[in-house]
Structure 1
């Protein structure tokens, strides 16, 4: 049975080198072998691919078109072989990554530490920062980002769901009442985190509602603690509040106006083939987050 690949490598070698002898040297075979394979290929295709002269080989119009397709096939084959080789290789070398401070401390750094224990040849540098670092400019391999994404130069892999909740403690609601519309937020004490713009929905549209209150802190845990003490309304991600919503320590509010679900993302620069260390870590983070109690309740 004739392989569909038979003659293709020989044809590309001749087309790129312009000579049968040069192609034979490149492939480590005889010139007669090259000639036979290309003749069989042309017979199989019923098309002349090459014009031969005593000094040089030129491509026919069909040969030029066929060469482009063959080169792409070769590239795809080599890419597949590299990918399979990477599966068997152990992550090693330096991996630089970044993540927001609070989320990184609570979820990402513990998982990365366990990952490193599995691969002792790997070195990892984690920069926890609430600034959106430019991965390409900063030389980062990976970023963990929350919510909506903007940078189209980066490839994104979804690691976990992320949903925002507007909530308050039963004690606060008993004292100040429950808001039934977005306009009523103005008369409530809102516990502000890193921004006083809360993402909400109205009439099917996403809006940003400015809120105010007597407490502000750029720590989600601090905002949660204040809400549990009955100090006001808060808007926090699911991994902070689900446990308390399930226990009744917090009550979800204005559910029809809650923003659409987003996600936790792994971002890395666009490249033809993702390095084994980044791919393995992304897979490990995805599996690890899914197994955490905070996400099993989502």
Structure 2
């Protein structure tokens, strides 16, 4: 029985298909099929029932997976640990982050990390969807905003200042709000999971807002603002060029919008990928100088169980 074939079997079960396992490992699907067939011959049992639509574990397959997954994880952890402590750490690191954060903030951080550690292979998914890191084999998630309850470790990475923005044409037509309460008479756009109330640091209570649009992309919302539609709360640096060109105007600047926090999330399991620590350390070295981060708002990094 070949340990590499056992590892392939574990990966197939974790990803849910031969195709996904092949893509994640960078090998041919036919190679995986041949090696799993060899593993079944060596063991003398059927491990997987294969159909055109899905995979189903046999009873023997379920037992092998339950017994071997922890062992394979421990072996992978040992290899990762040895790699991370060497001068040239190697292996794979899987990261997920929102699209805008990746495109406008993390691209330089990822690029310089690759230059610093050329033997580490990065897989980056740009998505705001809720991901079970352990279930999907993701090592690190970078998230913006309020965190959902979970058993993950949360480490604050940065604090980003925000403001309220609208186009001059929209304000000419609908009027410029003078106080946060005036927002109740405006179209207020936000991200999909945003709450229905906007808070202000120096206003007596949260303001209930409503709008015809919610989206999971601040780039998209900004483009809608440029079509002379509504008011939105955005990172200041994200709207700076539009303001300089006179395309957008910051409103209610005397009423401070709470900043938004960026966190790194990773599993609290014992076999945590050590390359996560390398990436976080590298990110913390660079992020304080990034224009998305308001230097006056950068706070000491803290790490805590998020539960």
What's the TM-score bracket when you normalise by the shorter of the two chains?
A: 0.5 to 0.7
CA distance in 2, matches of 1:255, 1:186: 17
Cα distance change of structure 1 residues 142 and 208 upon mapping to structure 2, 3 Å threshold: farther
1:96 maps to what in 2? 94
CA distance in structure 2 between the aligned counterparts of 1:116 and 1:227, rounded to whole angstroms: 36
1:281 offset after TM fit, Å? Answer: 0.9
- Structure 1 residues 242-269: Cα deviation after superposition (integer angstroms, max 9, x where no partner): 4445676533333565543231111112
Once the two structures are overlaid, the 10-residue window that deviates more, 130-139 or 230-239, is 230-239
SS of residue in 1 equivalent to 2:233? strand
Question: C-alpha distance in 2, partners of 1:205/1:293?
Answer: 31
Unaligned runs of 5+ in 2: 1-80, 297-307
Query: CA contact under 8 A between 1:206 and 1:259: conserved in structure 2?
Result: no
Question: Which of 165, 168, 171 matches 1:170?
Answer: 168
Describe how 1:181-192 pairs up with structure 2 within 5 A.
Answer: 181-192=179-190
Partner of residue 161 from structure 1, selected from 155, 159, 162 = 159
Q: Distance in 2 between matches of 1:149 and 1:218?
A: 16
TM superposition shift of 1:105: 2.8
State whether structure 2 residue 210 is matched by structure 1 residue 211.
yes
Quick check: which has more Rg, 1 or 2? 1
Q: Deviations over 1:155-188 (max 9, x none)?
A: 2222221233222233432332211344432332
- Measure the CA separation in 1 of the matches of 2:104 and 2:118: 23
Q: What is the SS of the residue equivalent to 1:149?
A: coil
**How much has 1:218 moved relative to structure 2?**
3.5
Query: 2:160·2:293 contact (CA, 8 Å) conserved in 1?
Result: no
1:156–1:210 Cα change, 3 Å: same
Structure 1 segments unaligned to the other structure (5+ residues): 1-82
**CA displacement at 1:122 relative to structure 2:** 0.7
Name the CA shift for 1:150/1:231 in 2 (closer, same or farther; >3 Å): closer
Greater relative contact order, per chain length (Cα 8 Å cut-off, separation 6+) = 2
Instruction: Select between 244-253 and 172-181 the one with higher mean Cα deviation.
Output: 244-253
Aligned pair count? 215
Matched, 1:287 2:285: yes
Q: Are residues 184 and 205 of structure 1, via their aligned partners in 2, closer, same or farther at CA, if it must alter by over 3 Å? A: closer
- Comparing 134-143 with 161-170, greater Cα deviation is found at 161-170
Contact 1:93 1:121 in 2 (8 A): yes
Deviations 1:92-122 (A, max 9, x none): 2111111122322332244223311221211
